[in-house]
Amino acid sequence: MNTTYDVVVVGAGPAGLAAAIEAKKTGAGDVLIIERNDEPGGILPQCIHNGFGSVIFKKDLPGPAYAYNFIEEAKTLGIEIVLDTMVLNITPDKKITAANSRDGFLEFEAGAIILAMGCRERTRANIRVPGDRPAGVFTAGTVQRLVNIEGLMPGKNFVILGSGDIGMIMARRLTLEGANVLKVVELMPCLTGLRRNYVQCLQDFNIPLSLSTTIKRIIGKKRVEAVETVKVDESLNPISGTQETIACDSLLLSVGLIPENELSKKAGVILDPLTGGPAVDENMATNINGIYAAGNVVTIYDLVDYVSKAGMIAGTNAALYTMGKSSSPKYYRLIPGDGVRSVVPQRINTSNIALKSSSTEILIELRVLHEFDSKVFIDIMDGDKVLYSHMEKYARPAEMITLRVDTSKLAGATGDLTVVVSSK
């Protein structure tokens, strides 16, 4: 291991692997990935279900197979991956400290850094489920790791709170492993995960889903003995008299993901309060020169393929930065307007959209604020002028919308741009 690298990537998940590979291919010299797990791939090795790779590989792959493709390519390209190693600090001048039990305390200097730490799960405390504090309350991803990696079953009778994707996938997985999944309850009046997961994981296994329902209380001194559910009204307030006690030994929480940005903050990276991740431009550059970010650390994606794509963009541009091929840019902001909850990137390099002749595609990821049942238009506006318009058959907060925008479409922009969604 060296002490200086052209590019250091934090995290060997799908974003980090793709970023390191593209950085190397673009011409960066030494590239290092630092990974806290004891194997590369991020969350993918424990995602043994299929549904990965439709965009990048045009195949329906399980998580480990999707990761394997990238891991092998990284090896072939001579990218160093240091495993079981925790990054402790990143400074704005791109010095990194880390530790592991093999090499001890590590210090690196990087030409460019790519933040690819991913996300963590929201916990019981985040949503303040009251009651006792027994064993048997787990986040869905932790159970996924226990079952699929450690080979351990954490319970027999499960109730799942939240209709997030990992929760629904675990409902099926636990059922296949012989556990009873008694019910999935969801606070919102609609699914928060993908519809296909509802069909394949709940419907196909006859697992009931109760919408507009939450857990009011956890009961059990040592181990979970029961949970008390309650219906909620339109303003999400409990409706009295609708309580139901369900005997179970485990409560699984699938109540959302939060980008993990403690290191980003230490490095002085500015976060977007709407996404919880770094505010980036279309090259995935943060506000700190030479620090890039990609994947779920930036915003929570639905599909891993787009996480990898974001990683590739970050990798390419981090490499160009170290090769002195990036200038300090001028930006127009990309602002979430009517109907839009969040948008990534948060700003666009004006030089990329200045020329009508240039034709590069940029990816714009957005989430809507509420459900649109019928046809919607997503417009990018420069004041009153529509520069780009895209139609979707419907839009749901749970499903990320990816726009592939040809930059020539944005040529002639005169200032900050607004993204709006409307059913017209």
Footprint on this chain of another protein (rule: CB under 8 A): 36, 84, 86, 88, 97, 99-105, 120-121, 123-126, 128, 130-136, 138-139, 141-142, 145-147, 149-156, 177-178, 216-219, 221-223, 258, 262, 265
Q: Which is nearer to another protein, 145 or 409 (CB)?
A: 145
> Shortest approach of another protein to residue 105 CB, angstroms?
4
Is-cis flag, bond preceding 345, omega within 30?
yes
* Shortest distance (Å) from residue 275 CB to another protein: 15
Instruction: State the minimum distance, in angstroms, from the CB of residue 158 to another protein.
Output: 12
Residue 131 C-beta: closest distance to another protein, Å: 5
Q: Is the dihedral of CA 194, 195, 198, 199 positive or negative?
A: negative
Nearer to another protein, 43 or 79 (CB): 43
Distance CA 338, CA 419 (A): 8
CA distances from 196 to 27, 164, 232, 302 (A): 40, 12, 25, 12
Order of strands across the sheet with 417-422?
A: 347-349, 331-336, 417-422, 376-382, 385-392
Nearer to another protein, 153 or 209 (CB): 153
The backbone torsions φ and ψ at residue 380, rounded to the nearest 5 degrees and listed phi first, read -105, 120
Cβ proximity to another protein, 148 vs 352, nearer residue: 148
Q: CB-wise, 149 or 411, nearer to another protein?
A: 149
**Beta pairing, strands 331-336 & 226-231:** unpaired
Nearer to another protein, 151 or 415 (CB): 151
Bridge partners of 367, per DSSP, are 342
Each residue of 104-121: b (16+ CB within 10 Å) or e?
eebebebbbbbbbbbbeb
> Closest approach of Cβ 172 to another protein, in Å?
14
CB of 366 to another protein, least distance (A): 22
